[in-house]
Structure 1
Amino acid sequence: MITLNWLYVLAGLMFAAFAVLSALDRRNAKRFGNAAFWGLMALSLLGGSYIGDLANGLLVLGLAGLAGFGAIGRGDPDTTSGAEREAYSKRLGNRLFLPALIIPATALIGTLAYTYTPLGQYGLIEPRRETYVLLGLGVLVAVLVIFLWLRPPALAPLQEGRRMIDSIGWAAVLPQMLAALGVVFAAAGVGTVIGDATRAIIPDGSIFLTVLVYALGMVLFTMIMGNAFAAFPVMAAAIGVPLLINSYGGSPAVIGAIGMLAGFCGTLMTPMAANFNLVPAALLEMKDENGVIKAQVWTAIPLLAANIALIYFLGFIWTY
């Protein structure tokens, strides 16, 4: 049976290759810092289940130290030249995007086939992990197609991957860390503390004020943790479930779904959501690394106001 651990191994081997190629890149003054950073990432994916909690914690501190002290920097590996890329572009046009489309197509078609045909009866893939496994398979198929079609140098996919991951830098691992932070906050009882403070400040029966604090809390914690999925357990435990649902009888579907949308307004306004806001700026080589955030603020604020109104009216007023 193919399990999720196979994907960890695949990703770990990729990061291990990045580490080796970084160490061999003599043109990068920070090659050993890059090698250490991506090597630790490889270790976490390949051996995280075996090295124990303490070692994993030290590994995370190592990643934070390397990034915090500026030990990593962008490499510029040799793959194809600018002239070669331009020639490919002129000759193939939009067909160059076909390998990228193979990945989601494999995941979608494969999941539907595995779910709705007898193929799923063979138990080839770990239950509820089919889409993840097929997404990884799509990546391998896309790489194979690239080699058969374009015949790039053998290390070109890894070198291009290293170039891109170096451009993103430490922000590439931020989503995983922030998601873990959300679990830690929830386990530490932060939600209970916020809930007690909310009850002490807001008068009993003030539904709109409670909705307002809930939505603003989702935004604030999302801005801190960079991910609404990480903020949701905290605010749901603090306000969403005990006050809005249990005490005031609000609609769980509305409070949960639109509460998440309120959190995503915070995603639009924070550098902590690096995969949405800093990574595009880095890949596009924008002069202002916060340019994406500045452009999104004027969408996020009215969207937040709309979400607050929707939670209040759909969750409470129109349900009576």
Structure 2
Amino acid sequence: MITIEWLYVLAGLAFAAYAVLSALDRNNAKRLGNAAFWGLMALSLLGGSWLGDLGNGLLVLGLAGLAGSGAMGRGDPPTTSDAEREAWSAKLGNRLFLPALVIPATALIGTLLYSYTPLAHYHLFQPKRETYILLGLGVLLALILIFAWLRPPASAPLQEGRRLIDSIGWAAVLPQMLAALGVVFAAAGVGNIVGEATRAAIPEGSVFLTVAVYALGMAAFTMVMGNAFAAFPVMASAIGVPLLIQGYGGDAAVIGAIGMLAGFCGTLMTPMAANFNLVPAALLELRDRNGVIRAQVATALPLLAVNIGLIYLFCFR
């Protein structure tokens, strides 16, 4: 049976290659910082199951220290020139996107075939991890297609991968860090603390004020965690369930759905949501790293106010 650990190994080998290539890149003044960061990521993926809680905790502190100290810098690996890319684009046109489309097609079609045909009876993949594994298989198939079709140098995929990962930098691993933060907050009982503070500060019977604190809290915790899905358990256990649903008889569906939308308003305004706000800026090579966030604030704040009104209007009909 192919398990999710196989995918971890595949990703870990890729990060290990980025670490080695970074260490050998003498044109990058911060090559050792890059090598150390991607090397720690490789260690986490390849050996995290054996490092234990203390080992993984120290590894995360190492990643945070390297990122926070400015030890990382963008490399400039030897990839194709602008002229070569323009020539390939003129020759092949939109067909250049075919390898990229192989990846989602493999994940989608493979999952459907595995789930709704007799293939499922062979137990080829770890249960509930089929799509992830097929996504990794799609990457391998796309690489095979590229080498058979375009015949690039053997190191091209790794060098291009390093160029991309260096452009994104430490923000590439922020979603994983924030997911772990959500678990830590829940285990620490942050929801109970917030709920007690809210009950002490808001007069009993102030429905609108409770709704406002709930929605603003969703946005604020999302800005801290970078993900509304991580913020929701905290605010639901603090205010959503005990006060709005059990206390005032609110509609749970409205509180959950529109509460998540309020959290997404926070997503628009935080660099912690790196995959939405920092990664695009890095890939587009914007001069202002927070340019995406600045452009979204004018939408996020009015939308948050609208969500507060919607919860109040539709939750207690």
* TM-score category, normalised to shorter length: over 0.9
CA deviations 1:123-161 (Å, max 9, x no partner) are 111111111111111111111111111111111111001
Q: Shift of the alpha carbon at 1:200?
A: 1.1
Corresponding residue for residue 144 of structure 1:
144
Q: How do residues 199-214 of structure 1 correspond to structure 2 at under 5 angstroms?
A: 199-214=199-214
In structure 2, C-alpha distance between the alignment counterparts of 1:162 and 1:294, rounded to whole Å:
28
CA deviations 1:254-306 (Å, max 9, x no partner) are 22222111111101011111111111111111111111111111221222122
In structure 2, C-alpha distance between the alignment counterparts of 1:254 and 1:13, rounded to whole Å:
45
In structure 1, C-alpha distance between the alignment counterparts of 2:250 and 2:22, rounded to whole Å:
54
Q: Secondary structure at the match of 1:215?
A: helix
1:260 to 2:260 alignment: yes
Tell me which amino acid in the other structure corresponds to 1:252: A
Tell me which amino acid in the other structure corresponds to 1:25: D
In structure 2, C-alpha distance between the alignment counterparts of 1:107 and 1:311, rounded to whole Å:
37
Tell me which amino acid in the other structure corresponds to 1:294: R
Corresponding residue for residue 99 of structure 2:
99
CA contact (8 A) 1:79 1:153 kept: no
CA deviations 1:234-266 (Å, max 9, x no partner) are 111111122222222222222222211111110
CA contact (8 A) 1:44 1:59 kept: yes
Q: Shift of the alpha carbon at 1:85?
A: 0.8
Flag structure 2 segments of 5+ consecutive residues without an equivalent.
Answer: none
Q: Shift of the alpha carbon at 1:315?
A: 2.5
Q: 1:5 to 1:219 in 2, by over 3 A?
A: same
In structure 1, C-alpha distance between the alignment counterparts of 2:157 and 2:209, rounded to whole Å:
53
Tell me which amino acid in the other structure corresponds to 1:274: A
Q: Shift of the alpha carbon at 1:12?
A: 0.7
Q: Shift of the alpha carbon at 1:90?
A: 0.8
Q: Shift of the alpha carbon at 1:198?
A: 0.8
TM normalised by structure 2 equals 0.97
Q: Secondary structure at the match of 2:312?
A: helix
Instruction: Single out whichever of 187-196 and 204-213 deviates more from structure 2.
Output: 204-213
Q: Secondary structure at the match of 2:50?
A: coil
In structure 2, C-alpha distance between the alignment counterparts of 1:162 and 1:111, rounded to whole Å:
29
Tell me which amino acid in the other structure corresponds to 2:42: A
In structure 1, C-alpha distance between the alignment counterparts of 2:219 and 2:157, rounded to whole Å:
38
In structure 1, C-alpha distance between the alignment counterparts of 2:127 and 2:254, rounded to whole Å:
29
Instruction: Single out whichever of 186-195 and 297-306 deviates more from structure 2.
Output: 297-306
How many residues were matched structurally?
Answer: 317
Instruction: Single out whichever of 109-118 and 301-310 deviates more from structure 2.
Output: 301-310
Corresponding residue for residue 77 of structure 2:
77
Corresponding residue for residue 310 of structure 1:
310
Corresponding residue for residue 273 of structure 1:
273
Corresponding residue for residue 134 of structure 1:
134
In structure 2, C-alpha distance between the alignment counterparts of 1:243 and 1:13, rounded to whole Å:
49
Corresponding residue for residue 30 of structure 2:
30
1:39 to 2:71 alignment: no
Structure 1 vs Structure 2: percent identity of aligned residues? 81
CA deviations 1:218-240 (Å, max 9, x no partner) are 10011111111221121111111
In structure 1, C-alpha distance between the alignment counterparts of 2:312 and 2:105, rounded to whole Å:
39
Corresponding residue for residue 54 of structure 2:
54
Corresponding residue for residue 18 of structure 2:
18
CA contact (8 A) 1:183 1:233 kept: no
Corresponding residue for residue 299 of structure 2:
299
CA contact (8 A) 1:255 1:311 kept: yes
In structure 1, C-alpha distance between the alignment counterparts of 2:5 and 2:244, rounded to whole Å:
39
Runs of 4+ in 1 over 4 A off after TM superposition: none
In structure 1, C-alpha distance between the alignment counterparts of 2:65 and 2:148, rounded to whole Å:
41
Tell me which amino acid in the other structure corresponds to 2:4: L
Corresponding residue for residue 187 of structure 1:
187
Flag structure 1 segments of 5+ consecutive residues without an equivalent.
Answer: none
Q: Shift of the alpha carbon at 1:183?
A: 1.1
TM normalised by structure 1 equals 0.96
CA contact (8 A) 1:222 1:231 kept: yes
Corresponding residue for residue 3 of structure 1:
3
Tell me which amino acid in the other structure corresponds to 2:76: D
Tell me which amino acid in the other structure corresponds to 1:118: P
Q: Shift of the alpha carbon at 1:17?
A: 0.7
